[in-house]
Amino acid sequence: MSVQILIADDSQLVRRLLRVSLEQHEGWRVCAEAKNGQQAVEKATETKPDLIVLDWVMPVMDGLQAAREIARILPVVPILMFTLHDSPAFKLAAKRSGVRRVVSKADSGAMISAIEGLLSQENLTPVPGTLSTR
């Protein structure tokens, strides 16, 4: 069983690049994509992923609003904010919205290690040859 990840970003190119990058990691699978915060909430409710990657600036509902709603509905699912905005004030606002980690798009190489860290905190990192806890 693989770790199921939801990606939400208004850029189709970013979603595609994230999917390719994440699915190269053994045991990870993108179960859904959303192009705005409202879709992220709907798809999170529908698919119940193991982890969610959200952009902040999206149409209809931004990532912080979506994070608050998702954290209310699925409080145990870790949310990672992948954004160009990573000031200390933003990180505090994100944390208050239910985001567990903020990764700057300028440092996309940090994405994999940030996800690994969140999944290991949640005991969701599958060991090759075993099943995930979810």
What domains can you pick out in the chain, each with its CATH number? 7-121 (3.40.50.2300)
Contact 34, 10 (CB under 8 A): no
pLDDT tens across 6-45, in order?
A: 999 999 999 999 999 999 999 999 999 999 999 999 999 9
d(CA 125, CA 127): 6
Q: Whole-prediction pTM value? A: 0.86
pLDDT tens across 64-106, in order?
A: 999 999 999 999 999 999 988 778 888 899 999 999 999 888 8
